[in-house]
Structure 1
Amino acid sequence: MSLTMKQCLHLRNSNVLGVISLIIILGSLNVKVAECRVIGLGNNEYSAINCRKHSALLTDFGGVGDGKTSNTKIFASAITKLSQNASDGGATLIVPPGKWLTGSFNLTSHFTLFLQKDAVILASQDEKEWPSLAVLPSYGKGRDAPGGRFSSLIFGNNLTDVVITGQNGTIDGQGSYWWVKFKKKEFTLTRPYMIEIMFSDQIQISNITLINSPSWFVHPIYSSNIIIKGLTILAPVDSPNTDGIDPDSCTNTRIEDCYIVSGDDCISPKSGWDGYGVKFGKPTKQLVIRRITCISPDSAMVALGSEMSGGIEDVRVEDLTAIDTQSAVRIKTAVGRGAYVKNIYVRRLNLNTMKYVFWMTGSYGSHPDPDFDPKALPVITGINYKDVVAKNVTYAARLEGMPNNPFTGICISNVTIQVSEEQKKLQWNCTDIAGVTNNVTPSPCEVLPQKDKTDCVFPNDKLPIEDVQLKSCSL
């Protein structure tokens, strides 16, 4: 007889000496033992929302890491087999060193995808290996084209307890193929994202390097209880729509300790597009963003919107660094979006070489349909910035609300901005806004008058996701 894969997985998670002894005993009884390598625990410790009882290597399922052989079916088969352990402590699929070429594949619940050091998941450039999906219900149209969208490289739907982590292994989206075709307008489907998890709960994405996504890198959507930390995200600064992390209609999310170089916004909370997002009605809320470094010369460190038609609220941003980035924490919206951006709290920003420190836009445009509702006016209120230091700045602020629909409740305190040698005469450009400031240099516009002793609010309470402690796990 031969050992089944499930038995092999069980052996791998037992005491090492016990496994060796059992194999010797089985061998003496002329029992055929399937290859079942035991992974040493020395350097395979990691932190996760949940540890797993079972684990297997991609090579156990026939994976070939030569960078040329497609592993799309191998990933699918491995995850399907490992999903059988969901009710028995869950399972980990370990991607070992090598270059593992693959198209899109789906994750499962109670599952960890673990990339070892020097492991590279390499995205296929064969469109046949990317299934098509319907457009997202809160968007109504594809972002690149109206004909639907390609599935993300790593995709999950209706999952519970899923972890993508490792020893700083790499996922390479090989995005240049997609960027060239996008610029030539050759797609009938919207480009794939690198990682998209939707309608799910308990998500962790951590300690990996992501490079050259076809479009957005990390896109949790319609999901809750999410931890994203320790990511290095890299794309050419002229690559189209390569947002770093876009929490979209998500609740209770923590994004921290990431380094992002992007051709678009480093982090961009969203919640749907125009009437589709209004109808779907699922906001992004209870979001913490902290200790992020961003480089994005043509976009924002954090952009709220512009797709915010389900609402964005209770966002807490702190201890961020931007270098050679167009703007810091920006609000993007337009007539037709509806909903709101409210109760936004920002503190302790360190900015160096910026076009704008403060930027709000009420006329962003970009609509899924030309006949959007002109009465769907977004409410922008309760926007707080404090403790900001900025150097080599072109403009202090560009704050543009909407005629007959001003942005209100803006508070800016304890801000020092050093403008560049090519400083512009008008440092603050403000229209259709209202609020207060205190201890801000250079002096703000008249519609943001000085109010002594003002210290813009930042909540003292913790969001539930901040109290989540990761467990110490080993393979």
Structure 2
Amino acid sequence: MRRPSILVGVLFLALFCCSPWTVWSSTLCKRKNLERVRPHSVSITEFGAVGDGITLNTKAFQNAIFYLNSFADKGGAKLFVPAGRWLTGSFDLISHLTLWLDKDAVILGSTNSDDWPVVDPLPSYGRGRELPGGRHKSLIYGHNLTDVVITGNNGTIDGQGSIWWSRFQNNTLDYTRPHLVELMNSIGVLISNLTFLNSPFWNIHPVYCSQVRVQNVTILAPHTSPNTDGIDPDSSDDVCIEDCYISTGDDLIAIKSGWDEYGIAYGRPSTNIVIRRLVGKTQTSGIAIGSEMSGGVSEVHAEDIHFYDSYNAIRIKTSRGRGGYVRNIYISNMTLVNIEYAITFNGLYGEHPDDAYDPNALPVIEKITIKDVIGENIKQAGILEGIEGDNFVNICLSNISLNVRSSFPWNCSYVKGYSDMVHPEACEPLMERLFPEHCSDCYYLSNHQQSSNNQRGAWFLSW
């Protein structure tokens, strides 16, 4: 399978005038030695933990972290988890902490729901995502933290989620299912060099966070497992996701920012997000935006993406009542194999938290570029459905070559944009010719934005 030629790549880079994106993304995700040196270290075994996969070690984790809190202002500390199977319920992290798993270490989530406490719903959601009321706390949790590292030598965090999936499918849940890792209102987060297995719900959920990096992780769950999203940046900014393999039962990456009137009122967008060198497969979507995007999503750059044996590759999900916006999304250099739908925009993705949402709160979807894509055995190139009276605009497609099985490769409504060098030929609403000024209008970051991005990206250079 041939990649787009270098000449074509250079031509389209010049055409699209997107150098601010290039500078920003490479700065934000610049590779550095990310391992923090902590002057203090203890093993979980020093607090009575037993790695037999049977003994419940929640108190040991809680006591160890309580002890290490005394070193937070002395350079921080490391909690070492050696080889073994360490059964535990939910536990909270602290600032200036490294949780480090040996290569043969497995943190196991308890199968007893009482070991996963119920906490308040997120204010940008107004209720649990699955049921009204609270939600179970994640296995590894933290809030209002600074400088947190969850890493190791490819150790494993296993949520043992099958009991939760069954309860969801049988409608016997009392509260929304827990995530594997959730960090709230935190700054300076690194998650790397680990395997995440069988999450009860979403795997990694940074919410209301800044300066987050997820690198070199593997996330696995059966394709039949419900809502086991891989990585969900939610109302978070300055996020870098790179060098990950994800195969789960739902979206591999889902960028969110709150749900209907609650997300609009909370008003915290997800912005400045870079996704690089992502490989995976799923029965839903590779990279999704929404459907909870009421606080807005912008400045998303994804490149070097490979999806295979999946349903959707790229999907934007929204509906009347969401409000918010999705803009300045730039996806390039993507390889697709055995995909049902390469590009999907769904403006009728219903489901609201309650009846108090405003049906006149219309989302703004604009300035979406997808370029340099090749695909083999694709059922349909795209289903792009906007909202009547609320067109999705400035959609730019270029240098896309898809081997499509369907006689009707595109299905478009309430969208408008540009295309060039697209095969099969794009649908009529996207057939305006591309010119440099179109690209500049769609994707040029102002000097103010670029300066802000460079300042934000400087944090990553210090790691």
TM over 0.5: yes
1:346 to 298, 311, 331: 331
Which residues of 2 match residues 57-456 of structure 1 at below 5 A? Answer: 57-296=43-282, 298-419=283-404, 423-451=405-433
Which stretches of structure 1, 4 residues or longer, exceed 3 Å deviation after superposition?
Answer: 452-467
Q: Taking structure 1 as reference, are residues 59 and 235 closer, same or farther at Cα in structure 2, changes over 3 Å only?
A: same
Give the C-alpha shift of residue 453 in structure 1.
Answer: 5.6
Supply the AA of the counterpart residue of 1:133: V
SS state of the match for residue 125, structure 1? coil
Write the deviation string for residues 296-324 of structure 1: whole angstroms up to 9, x where unpaired: 0x211100000000000000010010011
Tell me the SS of whatever aligns to 2:428.
coil
Structure 1 segments unaligned to the other structure (5+ residues): 1-45
* Aligned AA (2:396): C
Whether the 8 Å CA contact 1:49–1:469 is kept in 2: the answer is no
Task: Write the distance in 1 (CA, Å) between the matches of 2:200 and 2:63.
Answer: 25
Measured in 2, the distance between the counterparts of 1:416 and 1:453 equals: 20
Query: What is the distance in 2 between the residues matched to 1:340 and 1:144?
Result: 23
- The answer to whether the Cα contact below 8 Å between 1:412 and 1:456 also exists between their aligned partners in 2 is no
Contact 1:356–1:394 (CA under 8 A) maintained in structure 2: yes
Tell me what 1:33 maps to: none
Q: Distance in 2 between matches of 1:437 and 1:244?
A: 31
Q: Secondary structure at the match of 2:320?
A: coil
Aligned pairs for 1:38-57 (under 5 A) are 47-48=33-34, 50-57=36-43
**Contact persistence 1:54–1:91 (CA under 8 A):** yes
Equivalent-residue separation in structure 2 for 1:300 and 1:280 (angstroms): 27
Partner deviation per Cα, 1:271-315 (whole Å, 9 max, x = no partner): 00000000000000000011000110x211100000000000000
| Structure with larger RCO (C-alpha < 8 A, sep 6+) | 2
| 1:290/1:320 contact within 8 Å kept | yes
1:392-419 CA-partner distances (Å, limit 9, x unpaired): 0000110000001000010000000001
Aligned residues: 422
Distance 2:458 2:334 in 1: 20
**Contact kept in structure 2, 1:306 and 1:332, CA below 8 Å:** yes
Report the residue type matching 1:162 in the other structure: V
The answer for the alignment partner of 1:19 in structure 2 is none
User: In structure 1, how many angstroms separate the alpha carbons of the residues matched to 2:399 and 2:200?
Assistant: 40
Please give the alpha-carbon distance, in whole angstroms, between the structure 2 residues aligned to 1:164 and 1:283: 25
Q: Decide whether aligned partners of structure 1 residues 162 and 426 sit closer, same or farther in structure 2, where only a CA change above 3 A counts.
A: same
Decide which moves more: 275-284 or 351-360. 351-360
Q: Deviations over 1:50-109 (max 9, x none)?
A: 321110111111110000000000000000001110000100000000000000000000
The answer on whether the counterparts of 2:330 and 2:370 sit within 8 Å (CA) in structure 1 is: yes
* Residue 371 (structure 1) shift: 4.0
Whole-angstrom distance in 2 between the partners of 1:248 and 1:78: 29
Whole-angstrom CA distance in 1 between matches of 2:459 and 2:90:
33
Q: Distance in 2 between matches of 1:333 and 1:466?
A: 33
Q: Distance in 2 between matches of 1:465 and 1:392?
A: 38
One-letter amino acid matched to 1:425: S
Verify the 8 A CA contact 1:91 1:111 in the aligned structure 2. Answer: yes
Tell me how far 1:468 sits from its aligned partner: 1.6
Superposition deviation, residue 144 in structure 1: 1.7
Question: Equivalent residue of 1:286, what SS?
Answer: strand
Distance (Å, rounded) in 2 between the aligned partners of 1:245 and 1:456: 29
- Partners of 1:343 and 1:312 lie apart in 2 by 9
**Larger relative helix fraction:** 2
User: For residues 380 and 196 of structure 1, do their structure 2 counterparts lie closer, same or farther at Cα, with a shift above 3 Å needed?
Assistant: same
Provide the aligned C-alpha RMSD in A. Answer: 1.6
Equivalent-residue separation in structure 2 for 1:100 and 1:433 (angstroms): 51
> Deviations along 1:98-144, whole A, 9 cap, x unmatched?
00000000000000000011000000011121111010000011112
Deviation string 1:144-178 (CA, Å, 9 cap, x unpaired) is 21131000000000000000000000000000010
Tell me the amino acid that sits aligned with residue 263 of structure 1.
G
- Contact 2:366–2:393 (Cα < 8 Å) also in 1: yes
The aligned amino acid for 2:229 is D
Q: Deviations over 1:2-55 (max 9, x none)?
A: xxxxxxxxxxxxxxxxxxxxxxxxxxxxxxxxxxxxxxxxxxxx9436321110
* Contact 1:50–1:470, Cα closer than 8 Å, also in 2: no
Q: Is the 8 A contact 1:48 1:163 kept in 2?
A: no
TM-score after normalising by structure 2: 0.89
Q: Match for residue 34 of structure 1?
A: none
Q: What SS does structure 2 have at the residue aligned with 1:389?
A: strand
SS in 1 for 2:163: helix
Residue 335 of structure 1, CA deviation: 0.3
Q: 1:63 to 1:95 in 2, by over 3 A?
A: same
Structure 1 residue aligned with 2:28: none
2:251 is paired with a residue of what secondary structure? coil
Whole-angstrom distance in 1 between the partners of 2:77 and 2:33: 15
State the shift of 1:325 in Å.
1.3
Write the letter of the residue equivalent to 1:343.
N
The unaligned stretches of length 5 or more in structure 2 are 1-31
